[in-house]
């Protein structure tokens, strides 16, 4: 697909970030280019409306969940285009009110996510979005939060997937990534 190749050409790699031995794939240059940003959002929305929704039980997306922090950059736009609500998943202690939490292991340490306990209603169809999937720990934790509130995750969406880590294997729903990075 031409749009995937185009987006892949814009992503930058930063060696030894955030620590030695990690090659960080940076999607932020896409946001600095309005055409690339629109291409990304249109690609993801088209995937959801043509592939995800027709296969779902409710035939719609009720909630788009975005992971802290880059999921916040694309999640609200996708939610708006779908006529769905947007729900943020934040690091522990960043959200007011009653919250549910889940702890997970990342590529370089442990962390916890939270979601406000009234953010998703039982039975609602949910799509979870983030910029990248590596080991799948943070996405899995977001899925656990959705499940704790009674929501149904119908798909996980990522801009980039680091293929060799096979993070999608720990998820409870199908996963889609725009760009599959091999190394």
Question: Of residues 81, 92, 107, 114, which has the active-site annotation?
Answer: 107
Cβ-count burial of 59 within 10 angstroms (0-12 exposed, 13-18 middle, 19+ buried)?
Answer: exposed
Beta strands in the chain (DSSP E): 12-15, 23-26, 63-67, 85-91, 99-106, 109-116, 125-133, 152-162, 175-181
HSE-up (13 A, CA, CB side) for residue 169: 7
3-state helix, strand, coil split of the chain in percent (to 5) is: 35, 35, 30
Distance CA 147, CA 141 (A): 10
CA pair distance 32, 48, nearest whole angstrom: 24
**Catalytic residue at 92?**
no
- List the catalytic residue out of 70, 90, 114, 155: 70
Given a contact cutoff of 8 angstroms between Cβ atoms, the answer to whether 153 and 173 are in contact is yes
- 125-133 vs 63-67, strand pairing mode: parallel
Catalytic residue check, 70: yes
Active site amino acids: 70, 107
């Amino acid at each position: 697909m031409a749009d995937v190749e185009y987006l892949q050409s814009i992503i930058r790699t930063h060696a030894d970030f955030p620590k030695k031995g990690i090659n960080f794939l940076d999607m932020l240059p896409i946001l600095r280019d309005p055409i690339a940003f629109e291409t990304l959002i249109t690609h993801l929305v088209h995937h959801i409306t043509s592939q995800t929704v027709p296969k779902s039980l409710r035939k719609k997306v009720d909630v788009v969940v975005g992971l802290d922090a880059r999921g916040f950059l694309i999640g609200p736009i996708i939610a708006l285009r779908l006529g769905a609500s947007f729900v943020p998943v934040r690091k522990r202690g960043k959200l007011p009110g009653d919250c549910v939490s889940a702890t997970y292991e990342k590529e370089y340490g442990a962390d916890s996510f939270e979601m406000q306990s009234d953010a998703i209603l039982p039975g609602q169809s949910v799509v979870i979005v983030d910029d990248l999937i590596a080991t799948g720990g943070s996405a899995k934790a977001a899925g656990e939060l959705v499940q704790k509130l009674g929501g149904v995750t119908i798909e996980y969406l990522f801009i980039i997937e680091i293929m060799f880590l096979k993070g999608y294997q720990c998820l409870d729903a199908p996963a889609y990534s725009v760009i599959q990075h091999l190394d």
